[in-house]
Every structure is written in structure tokens, then in C-alpha cells.
Amino acid sequence: MINNTIEQLRVMKMSAMASELERQLEDPESYSQVSLNYTVRKTRLERKAIHSLIWRFSII
């Protein structure tokens, strides 16, 4: 399945993305770090959105 994805990325002329996916598969530690960074950023954005809503409704 992953090999098919890599092949399709190359067909769509996204060879840099295909190469990066291969690199991440060879080094799982780098892939888990990316996932962790995404989760932290997503959580921060969700917190900001909640605070914004609380602030907006507390002024009314």
C-alpha cells in the first residue's frame, strides 16, 4: 500500500514528497516526531479557539 502511494506521488510529479515519505519510513523516529509536533500544534490551536469563544461570549 505504501509503495503504491510512493509510486503515485512520483507519477503526479511529487518526487520530493515521495522521497520524504520513503525517508520517514526508513527512520520511524523522525516520523513519530512529526506526528507529535502536529498533535501539539493542533491542541494549541484548539485551546486558542476555545479561549476566543469564551472571551467573545463573556463580553456580551
Residues 17, 4: Cα–Cα separation, whole Å: 14
The alpha helices in 1-60, defined as continuous H runs, are: 2-11, 15-26, 28-59
The owner of cell 505504501 is 2
Where is pLDDT greater, at 6 or 42?
A: 6
What is the rounded radius of gyration, in angstroms, for the C-alpha atoms of the chain? 19
pTM here is 0.46
- Can you read off the three cell numbers belonging to residue 23? 525517508
Q: What is the mean pLDDT of residues 29-39?
A: 62
Query: HSE of 53 in the Cβ direction (CA atoms, 13 Å)?
Result: 5
- Indicate the pLDDT class of residue 30, thresholds 50, 70 and 90: low
Q: Would you tell me how many other CB atoms lie within 10 Å of the CB of residue 51?
A: 10
Q: Can you give the residue ranges of every domain in the chain?
A: 2-59
